[in-house]
Amino acid sequence: MRASSRHKPRTGLDFRQVRKGSKLYVATNDGYLHAVDSASGVEQWAFVPKELLPRLKQLLANPAVSNRTYGLDGRIGLGESWTFDWWGSKTETPGKSGDDFAYSARAGYQTGNWNNGIRFVQVGDAFNPEVGFLNRSGGYRFYDINFMRLVRVPEWKWLKQWNPHTSFRGYYGLDGYYSSGQ
């Protein structure tokens, strides 16, 4: 998307878009609503909520006060039972240096009888969790593995479903030290 020099949308934002006529309206997670000409890609205007007005001058004068986040994610399904998904992200935070990458990979197998999964997450020590989708600060690895059997016996009128299962979830420091888990 090309933008006017007056309103430059930041990259790496979560956004929702709606097309009406020749305009594309894009709402970003930083609070702005942008109207973009769908043919040329040029931004026509941006709406700034009143809650952001006190900080607007500061943000425009000093772009270093804002953190930046870049991300990519995806999901594919194979057959009727397998799902693979992943995400990767990088943050830029003024005053922070180090490993500012985070990524995750997950595989799931789900049928009428089984619900199993395995996941790995790594978050660099300088990754900024302020982006909102991580529940602890950077510098860890997370492992998650689970197996669940779904048992339905129509003859058991008193029990609709029984789910014997086992799982492991563990947080480890980047140095391999076990931090917490269940």
Q: Where is mean pLDDT largest: 91-95, 112-116, 137-141?
A: 112-116
Per-residue CA distances from 77 to 1, 14, 105, 110, 111 (Å): 30, 23, 14, 11, 13
Q: Does residue 181 register a pLDDT over 80?
A: yes
- Intra-chain end-to-end CA distance of the chain, in Å: 45
Mean pLDDT of all residues in 175-179: 92
Per-residue CA distances from 1 to 17, 43, 166, 182 (Å): 13, 8, 47, 45
Give residue-wise pLDDT tens across range 136-163.
778 999 999 999 999 998 888 888 889 9
Mean pLDDT of all residues in 115-126: 95
The DSSP result for 1-50, as a single string, is -B--SS--PPSS--EEEEEETTEEEEEETTS-EEEEETTT-BEEEEE--G
Q: Does residue 4 register a pLDDT over 60?
A: no
Q: Does residue 77 register a pLDDT over 70?
A: yes
From CA 149, how far away is CA 164, in angstroms rounded?
6
Q: Which helix (H) or strand (E) holds 89?
A: strand 82-92
Tally of CB atoms within 10 A around 139:
17
Structure-model confidence comparison of residues 160 and 12, the more confident one: 160
Contact 127, 101 (CB under 8 A): yes
Q: Does residue 172 register a pLDDT over 70?
A: yes
Q: Does residue 132 register a pLDDT over 80?
A: no
Q: Does residue 9 register a pLDDT over 60?
A: no
